[in-house]
Amino acid sequence: MKTITFSNGDQIPILGLGTWKSKPGEVYQAVLWAIEAGYRHIDCAAIYNNEKEVGKALQKAFEDGLVKREEMFITSKLWNNAHRREDVKPALKQTLMDLQLDYLDLYLIHWPISFKAGVGFAEIRKDFYTYSDVPLSQTWAAMEEVKKFGYARNIGVSNFNITKLGEILKNCTEKPEMNQVEMHPYLPQEKLVNFCKSNGIHLTAYSPLGSGDRSSQAKKPDEPILLEDKMIRVLAEKHHCSAAQILIAYSIHRDIVVIPKSVNQERIKQNLEATKIQLDEGDLEKLNSISTRHRFIDGSFFTKGQSPYKMEDLWELE
């Protein structure tokens, strides 16, 4: 499988299994199916509330000889309530305990949004820290420390726009290796992609299939369905594959890591088969010409009510 190489020589498989929205009771089997199928990259996060089960699956795979630890690439993310310098290491150690690992291959700041310690999801003003209270530079300094101590081999961010990345780059000793953001033909993020690549920051695409399995409360009325896009279906027919496989191949051909989520054994296998699809220049032109523009995960849940944060803290508002 194609890989992307970090500055220390570590290689991340360009396709991984996403675990967001994978329920306890389902994710254990999904991780094992993925490893059996040939996946060597699993994307996790503390806030997904399923890392203990992912950890059990990994240990089962190691014990049964399916794979060795050093053959797996495991990513996790720091939740918003552990951004203070003194909270980052304990949060990472809890994730390592849950995943039953000695180190992560990649650790990301999940969002450029800060909650007070112990707050799962901030709703009122007193639950939030501001950038004055906890600057992103403070959180990043703590990320550099956990890397130095060997708890994470690589560090990066998630959901960071150009402005926030610039703040990190101005103050860091080590720059972020990765920025994980929503990306697909409805949200190609060209400006952000160009900025990251020009600064040696790799990208991971989450929700590459449009995150259609989100709860109805998290969806906008009449939002488009990415998997039903006419152009994507035409290309799927051309390549004798599924719409999902075309969308996965789209990121791979842009040299962007992609982490589709599934708990269905057949779809897990099909997603992996997308690595074999060869899109030509005409295919990519067609995908890039899709005029629909939509962000499925808009982050508004962090900016409503009494939140001190605004949408421009999250995205390029184009």
Positions annotated as catalytic residues are 48
Classify residue 38 as left (phi > 0), alpha (psi -120 to 50) or beta: left
Cβ neighbours of residue 21 closer than 8 Å, sequence gap 6 or more: 48, 211, 213, 214, 261
Task: Check the CA dihedral 134-137-143-146 and report its sign.
Answer: negative
Write the DSSP assignment of 277-304 as a string of letters: ----HHHHHHHHT------S---GGGTS
Q: What is the largest CA-CA distance in the chain?
A: 54
Output the CA–CA distances (angstroms, integers) from residue 173 to 137, 144, 145, 168, in the order listed: 10, 8, 10, 9
Q: Which residues contact 92 (CB under 8 A, 6 or more apart)?
A: 76, 78, 104, 107, 146, 151, 152
CA-wise closest residue to 111 among 86, 134, 144 = 134
Closest CA to 261 of 16, 4, 3: 16
Please state whether beta strands 11-13 and 3-5 pair in parallel, antiparallel, or not at all (unpaired).
Answer: antiparallel
The verdict on whether residue 253 carries a ligand-binding annotation is no
The residues, any chain, with a CB within 8 Å of residue 174's CB and separated by 6 or more, are 144, 147, 155
Phi and psi torsions of 4, nearest 5°: -115, 135
Query: How far is Cα 58 from Cα 35, in angstroms, rounded to an integer?
Result: 9
User: What is the C-alpha separation between 42 and 293, in angstroms, rounded?
Assistant: 28
Q: Are strands 257-258 and 17-18 parallel, antiparallel or unpaired?
A: unpaired
Per the annotation, where are the binding residues? 110
Residues that constitute the known binding site for substrate: 110
